[in-house]
Amino acid sequence: MKTFWLIDGQGHLAGRLASICAKELLNGNKIIVVKAEKIEISGKHIRNKLKFLVKSKKRTNTNPKKGPFHFHSPSQIFWKMVRGMLPHKTKKGTSALMKLKVFEGLPEPFNRMKKFTIPTALRISKLLNGRKYSVLGEIGNQIGWPRKNIIDSIVWNRNIESKLFYNQKIKSLKKKTANYNAKVLFISGLLNLNIQ
């Protein structure tokens, strides 16, 4: 059965999440990963950053335009991790990779949908307490991804809007319950007068 998965990447370990995504993609499921900038990698931040910087210096000696091409945004880094776990040069692997979409932040159609977390890939359950870890968005920001501030401001604005909406909803509910209680008291008072 072919299904659609919307996965919230926040708090997941990159490799574990990528392997689960690769397996499900090969089974024919469509997967969308949001909040890619909050996916985590085990290990010290500086060590992971240096790994990415060393990798980004590798290029074709004769003509650098021929590749390899190194990505800086967290969504593309995670996409390439999943690609490494798929047989992407075969027809089956290519079609599986086409079913994967990865986004930074929480784009508009997905912010109202139910998002899944994968317990076997969560850092809090798989990494021992006190172990160092780094966040993909921070690494990407330091190796050349320019859009971290934009994503953070969008998320911050959305959080403020949701808090305002929630406060207005609570006020309207309190007003409705107060009106309802007043009606109940009025009706019960009338009933008491009629009985006496």
pLDDT by residue for the chain (196 residues), tens only, comes to 457 899 999 999 999 999 999 999 999 999 999 999 999 999 999 999 999 999 988 989 999 999 898 999 999 999 999 999 999 999 999 999 999 999 999 998 898 899 999 999 999 999 999 999 999 999 999 999 999 999 999 989 988 998 999 999 999 988 888 888 777 777 776 666 555 5
Backbone angles phi, psi at 116, to 5 degrees: -100, 150
Contact between 14 and 136 (Cβ < 8 Å)? yes
- Distance CA(17)–CA(35), nearest Å, equals 13
What's the token pair of residue 179? 């009106």
* pLDDT score recorded for residue 1: 45
Report the residue count for the chain.
196
171 CB neighbour count, 10 Å cutoff? 10
What's the token pair of residue 176? 């409705």
70 CB neighbour count, 10 Å cutoff? 17
